[in-house]
Amino acid sequence: MDTVMTLTYHGQDRESGREALEEGVAEVYELEDLLSVTAPDSEISALNEAGQAYLSPDTAQLLSAALELCALTGGALDITAYPAVEAWGFTTGEYRVPNQAELEELGDHIDYTRVSLDQESASLPDGMKLDLGAVAKGYTADRLAKLAQERDITSALLDLGQSTILALGAKPDGSPWRIGIQDPQGEGYLGVLELEGQAMGTSGGYQRYFERDGVRYWHIIDPATAAPARSGLLSVTVVSPSGLACDGLSTALFVMGLERGTQFWRDYPELEFEALFILEDGSLALTSGLKDSFTLAQGYEDREVEVLS
């Protein structure tokens, strides 16, 4: 999954913690083999290459959940944005800025509604490719949490890298886990979120980007333009019991921006998520459910914070 993960389990004793860890690591590699769009023999690669492929139950389940999130977010999340991600060079590091005609052509082929999925196979029209990169780490976090719970682990911190983190229970001493929120314009942490039995995911333009002629281009694509999403945000963090929802919705809210994102939060209470937006001017906005769990870090106390309700 092209990142560094840190899994911490607290078991009844050292041995049970270690067994849970080993099982978790094996699960990560297994899911990566199925889901990775860059591994040539993953099920997703097979689907992209042939336009049709049989899927194992895990892949089918995640694809189905991802398509549901694409629909709920009105296509702000669109798993068929992958050819645009490739065209901008984010898959190889050979960055380029496609011209307008190319972007229009790419945009014509971004449309998750044209992915068809039945029980055990999926298909895609010619010229389209899909990628579960926006949701795979969150889904993996949920799977790891479930495995840990089956082992009666009640405290774990599953840090899947690039800001997808699931906190199982509280810390062993009973206090909440404290997670630093990266300052998108600096090196350090701008604030701290307290988590207990919840996941969080951050999507931001600062995570993977390149610069051309003084303009910054990042890896989160607006499906409407096939170009990097410019919605006035530097980052979005989503907190929810579901890792999958955190991962998918943080990407989607980054595309939507503050206004549409806030309306989406109001419209979908059943998704049980909260969000923290960091705006281009450095100010913050957070949904009311995070009011008591977020604090600004030292040196950032004078940042403006709006509470959304």
Rank residues 2 and 150 by Cβ distance to Mg ion and give the closer one.
Answer: 2
Rank residues 169 and 277 by Cβ distance to ligand ADP and give the closer one.
Answer: 277
Residue 199 and residue 164 in contact, taking contact as beta carbons nearer than 8 Å: yes
Sheet order of strands, 121-123 included: 52-54, 121-123, 116-117
**Residue 39 phi, psi dihedral angles, 5° rounding:** -75, 120
Pairwise CA distance, residues 98 & 115, whole Å: 25
Residue 141 binding: pick among Mg ion, ligand ADP, none (C-beta 5-8 Å cut-off by kind): none
Instruction: Give the shortest CB-295-to-Mg ion separation in angstroms.
Output: 24
Rank residues 237 and 287 by Cβ distance to ligand ADP and give the closer one.
Answer: 237
- In the list 251, 262, 287, 293, the residue contacting Mg ion (rule: CB under 5 A) is 251
- Tell me if 134 contacts Mg ion by CB under 5 A: yes
Rank residues 155 and 242 by Cβ distance to ligand ADP and give the closer one.
Answer: 242
Instruction: Give the residues lining the site for ligand ADP (CB under 6 A).
Output: 77-79, 81, 85, 90, 131, 133-134, 162, 203, 207-208, 219-221, 223, 247, 250-251, 255
Give the 3-state secondary structure of residue 20. helix
Instruction: Give the shortest CB-137-to-ligand ADP separation in angstroms.
Output: 6
Find out whether 199 is annotated in a ligand binding site. no
Instruction: Give the shortest CB-180-to-Mg ion separation in angstroms.
Output: 19
Give the 3-state secondary structure of residue 62. helix
Instruction: Give the shortest CB-213-to-ligand ADP separation in angstroms.
Output: 22
For residue 177, what are the contacts with CB-CB under 8 A and spacing of at least 6?
A: 157, 167, 170, 171, 194, 195, 196
Pairwise CA distance, residues 230 & 220, whole Å: 9
Instruction: Give the shortest CB-248-to-ligand ADP separation in angstroms.
Output: 8
Pairwise CA distance, residues 10 & 21, whole Å: 9
Q: Which two tokens stand for residue 225?
A: 């333009």
Residue 194 binding: pick among ligand ADP, Mg ion, none (C-beta 5-8 Å cut-off by kind): none
Residue 223 binding: pick among Mg ion, ligand ADP, none (C-beta 5-8 Å cut-off by kind): ligand ADP
Give the 3-state secondary structure of residue 195. strand
Find out whether 247 is annotated in a ligand binding site. yes
The residue type found at 219 is H
Q: Residue with the closest Cβ to Mg ion?
A: 251
Instruction: Give the shortest CB-73-to-ligand ADP separation in angstroms.
Output: 9
Residue 168 and residue 37 in contact, taking contact as beta carbons nearer than 8 Å: no
- Tell me if 78 contacts Mg ion by CB under 5 A: no
Instruction: Give the shortest CB-39-to-ligand ADP separation in angstroms.
Output: 14
Rank residues 251 and 262 by Cβ distance to Mg ion and give the closer one.
Answer: 251
Pairwise CA distance, residues 68 & 88, whole Å: 26
Residue of 83, 112, 152, 132 whose CA lies nearest to 244: 132
Rank residues 81 and 286 by Cβ distance to ligand ADP and give the closer one.
Answer: 81
Residue 234 and residue 280 in contact, taking contact as beta carbons nearer than 8 Å: yes
Pairwise CA distance, residues 195 & 123, whole Å: 39
Rank residues 142 and 247 by Cβ distance to Mg ion and give the closer one.
Answer: 247
- Tell me if 245 contacts Mg ion by CB under 5 A: no
- Tell me if 183 contacts Mg ion by CB under 5 A: no
Pairwise CA distance, residues 94 & 75, whole Å: 27
Binding residues for Mg(2+): 134, 247, 251
Binding residues: 134, 247, 251
* Chain positions contacting Mg ion, by CB under 5 A: 134, 247, 250-251
